Structure 1
Amino acid sequence: MKLFDVYPLYNVTPISAKGIEVWDDKGEKYLDFYGGHAVISIGHTHPHYVKRIKDQLDQMAFYSNSVQNPLQEAVAEKLGVLSGCEEYDLFMCNSGAEANENALKMASFHTGKSKVIAFNNGFHGRTSAAVAATDNPSINAPINKQQEVTFLALNDFDAFEKAITSDDYCAVILEAIQGVGGLDEPTTAFYQFIAEKCKENNVVLIADEVQSGYGRSGKFFGFQHHGVQPDIISIAKGMGNGFPVGGVLIHEKFTPSYGLLGTTFGGNHLACAASLAVLEVLENENLIKNAAELGAYFKTKAAEIPEIKKVKGRGLMIGLEFDFEVAELRKKMIVEQHMFTGSAKNKKLLRFLPALNITKADIDLFFDGLKKAL
């Protein structure tokens, strides 16, 4: 048997990593400024993270959600305090797509409706309703296209008001900072307008924080830059630092019932250990503050490079926009400079999504490598 060939791969085989340093099977060292799509939030093989998972593995790796698991309660309590979202309940799952799937399902249960408003260049996952709400026809199969989704331009007040008042919608879903789409953001005025109109029209507001959450933007959640309160918040990526885990924060105004949502693997003992380790490191090492401060430092360094036409994003969720397509530049960064970076739907954008505990010295190394590659 061979692998189903769906990924274009660089000729690099990582076998070990620590912090932002990654070594391949030939002993070559690389610097990871992409974190596997913003997943590595506290650095590769962080000692506290490794110990937490090893200790849990020695005790118990898994049991289903048919028994009590106090670790889930510990995750919910810690997450509520650190994020400032104590008025929400936590449902744990396994990925960002599953988080958004359950968020949309809850919105539909709550309203009794099925149509969704999403935004151009948004990305919410690759499963049923989540991929239908993703603005990429090439990954939407006919079975997904049965979902009714209206796509609108970000920051178009008139189009949004016309849409939400002209039809029956269950949900509006948006990213505070678009990841795959290219680091575009709703303005504060627009996000607040969305929240206001959702409330007026009894539509559920879903904040997709799968990539922008967990401190990456310089606040715990990206929507917190805009002074809004979503009804549902989806989380994943940085939540487990590489362990597959996701979650849905559901406002306490929603009423749960047995069987409403469910999962076999979600919130298992190892996932909880990983999640607790991440939250503890975020708190103990002040990594959200570090993300905000280093994001500002990154932008001052970027301003020194004339080839960079625009810097997009917040904190350590940053895109560098050039006046040329960056595929060759990204290849040079990994092959010649031994640095991992990311691409986007915007082919002129280079994405920078490192662990939140990087240093100014690490950013200096990134820009040294970028200048050489340019």
Structure 2
Amino acid sequence: MKLFDVYPLMNVTPVKAKDCILWDENGTEYLDLYGGHAVISIGHTHPHYVNRMEEQLKKLAFYSNSVQNPIQERLAEKLGQLSGYPDFSLFLCNSGAEANENALKLASFHTGKNHIIAFKGAFHGRTSGAVALTDNPKIVAPFNAGHSVSFVDYDLNQISEIIKSKEVAAIIYEPIQGVGGIILPTDEFVQGLRKICTENGVVLIADEIQSGYGRTGKFFAHQHSGIQADLITMAKGMGNGFPIGGVLISPEFKASHGLLGTTFGGNHLGCAAALAVLEVIEKKNLIQNADEVGFYISRTLNRLPKVKEIRGRGLMIGIELDFPIAGIKNNLLQKHRIFVGNAKTNIIRLLPPLTLHKGFADKFINALEEEILNKQEN
């Protein structure tokens, strides 16, 4: 049997990792500034994380949600404390796509409506609608079973008109669009969005699957705008590589038995992973580190030629160049041994572990400058 070929693969086989460094089967060392789509939040194989996982494996890795699970309760308490949402409730699942599906269900159950507003360039999971490619905000496209969606610009007037004409359950937005190219709505727009939702009984869902968990210098990226969302979806950095996702749920939503369900969500091993991540983030002040090192990278990159714009917050950075980046991305990997991501054809994406320090940042900055200057000379 062969693997179903849906992923373009780099010619690198990592076999070992520590903090921000990977090694391949030949012992070649690489700097990881991508973390598997923002998954590695506290660095590869952090000793506290490994110990937590080993201890839990020796006890119980998994049982269903039909039994009491004290680790879930400890995770919820710590998450509420660090995130600034202590009065919210936590529903645990397996992935970002599942988190968004459950958030949409909750919004529909709560409002009795089933139309969704999302934004052009958005990505909310493979099963919840891919990147919006339409330029027509009036187009209604399939989004999820029982839901329809309008993809709109960051335009409050457009949104108000759709709310007047359709039975809108929720607006789902990414505080920073990752797949869309590290795009940020303004704080003023987000505050206006919150106001419209409150005035019209529409649920505001913040998709923090890529931008959450301290990556932007606050626990959640929407907190930069000074608002609270009604539902907050999480995954990626939550388990530092172990699959786990979740939804933070406002006290306005009432739970009932059977309302939501998941087989693997909230399993013992996943909760041990997520709890370890929070403990390391707190102990090592990684949110502050993400803010400081991210600011340093963005400020320094602004002096490089051919850099059109630096976007993002903290350690969620998009570097827009004024030419296609395929060659530079390949050289960063093959010549400088640095993993980066990309969006569109001309944006380098950085989503490194939150443990990244300025020495590693300088290595990338110097390599990128060298490649840009080489391209100019050629």
Amino acid at match of 2:10: Y
1:110 is aligned to 110
- Would the aligned equivalents of 2:116 and 2:171 in 1 still touch at CA under 8 Å? yes
2:188 is aligned to 189
1:285 is aligned to 284
2:306 is aligned to 307
1:362 is aligned to 360
1:24 is aligned to 24
Amino acid at match of 2:132: D
> Aligned partners of 2:22, 2:102: CA distance in 1, in Å?
34
Q: How does 1:30-49 map to 2 (within 5 A)?
A: 30-49=30-49
- Would the aligned equivalents of 2:129 and 2:143 in 1 still touch at CA under 8 Å? no
- Relative to 1, partners in 2 of residues 1:305 and 1:362: Cα closer, same or farther, differing over 3 Å? same
2:101 is aligned to 101
Which whole-Å deviations, capped at 9, do the CAs of 1:140-167 have from their partners, x for residues lacking one?
x97969841101112x222122222222
- Relative to 1, partners in 2 of residues 1:302 and 1:170: Cα closer, same or farther, differing over 3 Å? same
> Aligned partners of 2:299, 2:322: CA distance in 1, in Å?
20
Amino acid at match of 2:25: D
Which whole-Å deviations, capped at 9, do the CAs of 1:271-292 have from their partners, x for residues lacking one?
0110000000000000001111
> Aligned partners of 1:121, 1:264: CA distance in 2, in Å?
31
- Would the aligned equivalents of 2:294 and 2:313 in 1 still touch at CA under 8 Å? yes
SS in 1 for 2:116: strand
Question: Superposition RMSD on alpha carbons, in Å?
Answer: 1.6
TM-score by length of 1: 0.95
- Relative to 1, partners in 2 of residues 1:47 and 1:136: Cα closer, same or farther, differing over 3 Å? farther
- Would the aligned equivalents of 2:31 and 2:338 in 1 still touch at CA under 8 Å? yes
> Aligned partners of 2:228, 2:357: CA distance in 1, in Å?
32
Gaps of 5+ in 2: 135-140, 373-378
- Would the aligned equivalents of 1:65 and 1:264 in 2 still touch at CA under 8 Å? yes
Amino acid at match of 1:49: Y
Which whole-Å deviations, capped at 9, do the CAs of 1:151-209 have from their partners, x for residues lacking one?
1112x222122222222101100010101101111111111111111111111100000
> Aligned partners of 1:186, 1:234: CA distance in 2, in Å?
18
1:60 is aligned to 60
> Aligned partners of 2:116, 2:279: CA distance in 1, in Å?
36
1:84 is aligned to 84
Structure 1 residue 45, shift from structure 2 partner: 0.3
Q: Which of 346, 349, 358 pairs up with 1:348?
A: 346
Gaps of 5+ in 1: none
Q: Which of 365, 369, 372 pairs up with 1:371?
A: 369
Q: Which piece of structure 1 moves more, 62-71 or 304-313?
A: 304-313
Structure 1 residue 373, shift from structure 2 partner: 2.6
Structure 1 residue 296, shift from structure 2 partner: 1.1
1:135 is aligned to 132
- Would the aligned equivalents of 2:171 and 2:204 in 1 still touch at CA under 8 Å? yes
2:222 is aligned to 223
- Would the aligned equivalents of 2:143 and 2:149 in 1 still touch at CA under 8 Å? no
2:137 is aligned to none
> Aligned partners of 1:327, 1:368: CA distance in 2, in Å?
18
> Aligned partners of 1:214, 1:164: CA distance in 2, in Å?
31
- Would the aligned equivalents of 2:120 and 2:133 in 1 still touch at CA under 8 Å? no
SS in 2 for 1:148: strand
Q: How does 1:152-167 map to 2 (within 5 A)?
A: 152-154=152-154, 156-167=155-166
Amino acid at match of 1:47: P
- Relative to 1, partners in 2 of residues 1:13 and 1:336: Cα closer, same or farther, differing over 3 Å? same
SS in 1 for 2:341: coil
1:70 is aligned to 70
2:138 is aligned to none
Q: How does 1:202-241 map to 2 (within 5 A)?
A: 202-241=201-240
2:3 is aligned to 3
2:375 is aligned to none
> Aligned partners of 2:86, 2:239: CA distance in 1, in Å?
20
2:319 is aligned to 320
- Relative to 1, partners in 2 of residues 1:79 and 1:301: Cα closer, same or farther, differing over 3 Å? same
2:125 matches 1:125: yes
> Aligned partners of 2:122, 2:143: CA distance in 1, in Å?
20
- Would the aligned equivalents of 2:142 and 2:149 in 1 still touch at CA under 8 Å? no
> Aligned partners of 2:145, 2:275: CA distance in 1, in Å?
37
1:268 is aligned to 267
